[in-house]
Amino acid sequence: MSNKPIGIFDSGVGGISIWKELQQRLPLEDTIYLADSKNAPYGEKSAETIVQLSIKNTELLLDLGCKLIVVACNTATTNAIDHLRTHYPVPFIGIEPAIKPAALGSTSGSVGVLATRGTLSSALFHSTSKNHASTIKIMEQEGTGLVELVEAGQASSETARALLKKYIQPMVASGIDHLVLGCTHYPHLIPLLKEELPAHVKIIDCGEAVANQTHRILEKQGLLAKDHGQTKHQFFTNADPSLVRSFLSGAKGEVVISFKDF
C-alpha cells in the first residue's frame, strides 16, 4: 500500500504549484496529477457542479490506485471536500485561503484575499473568515479572468499584469499588509505580483503547509513510501499537454505527461 501513488487534482495547472511543494517534502512518493483544464475555471461554476467534477476526478484517481488524494484547488476544497471525505475511503488533504497566518502576522489589522468567486461564496470560506472578523478586516477580491490567463500560458503577460493591478490596488489603498493567495493558479503569478505590490505587503501561499500536512497524515497512517528507486510522476490533462510541460522544468524522477479525455 505505502508505495502506491499520491493523487492530486485541480481544474488545470494551478495545482502544479502544490505538486512542486509535495515533491520537495516527499521525494520518495510517486504521484498522479489530473489537470481538468477542459472544465476550468471551476470558480465560475455552481457548488453542485464543482462537487460533481470533484467526484469525477476522485473516482479516476482511485481507479488508478491512489492511496491519498490532495485536492490542490481551493474552489474544489471549499465546495466539495466534506462530500469526498464522507463518500470515499482514502484520506483527503485540502487547501483553503490561509487567513489565519495572515491575521496572526498582520500589524495593520487589514489583510487581502484574492480568490475565485466559487471559493469566496462557499460556506467553508465564510465560516473561516468569520472566525477572524473580530480581530482583522478582510478585504475580499474575486480574481475573475486570472485562471483563464494562467491556463492560456499567459501568466507573465501584460494582460495579467493589468488585471492584477486592478485587483490589488483597492486592497493596497485600504492598508492591507498581507495578501492571501486563495487559488492555486495564483502562485504562478507571484513574479508579477512582487513587481506590483509595495514591498511591505507579504504574499501568503500555503503550498508548503499542504505538503507538511500530507506528510503528517501519511506518517500517521503508516502510508509513507519506502525508497523504491526512481520515482514516477504521471500527469493526465484533458487539454494540451505542452501547457503542463511548461510548468514542470526541473522536476525530478520519471515524468510522464499524457492527454486523457476525462
| Cα 66 from Cα 30, distance rounded (Å) | 9
- Residue 183, interface with ligand DGL (CB under 6 A)? yes
206 has catalytic annotation: no
Q: What are phi and psi of 116, to 5 degrees?
A: -80, 165
Which of 67, 185, 188, 233 contacts ligand DGL by CB under 6 A? 185
Show the beta-strand stretches assigned E in 167-207: 178-182, 202-204
Per-residue exposure over 20-42, b if at least 16 CB sit within 10 Å of its own CB, e if not: bbbbebbeebbbbbbbbbebbbb
66 among known catalytic residues: no
Q: Where are the alpha helices (H) located in 64-141, listed in sequence order?
A: 74-87, 99-105, 117-120, 123-132
For residue 173 the three cell numbers come to: 489603498
As measured in angstroms, the least distance from the Cβ of 118 to ligand DGL is 6
Judged by CB under 6 A, which of 5, 16, 30, 41 binds ligand DGL?
Answer: 41
Q: By C-beta, is 23 or 119 nearer to ligand DGL?
A: 119
117 or 215: CB nearest ligand DGL: 117
Q: Which of residues 122-181 bind ligand DGL (CB under 6 A)?
A: 147
Of 68, 183, 203, 243, the catalytic one is: 183
CA dihedral 147, 151, 152, 158 (to 10 degrees): 40
Q: Which 3-32 positions form the footprint of ligand DGL (CB under 6 A)?
A: 10-11, 14
Residue ranges in contact with ligand DGL by CB under 6 A: 10-11, 14, 40-43, 73-75, 116, 119, 147, 183-185
What residues are labeled active site? 73, 183
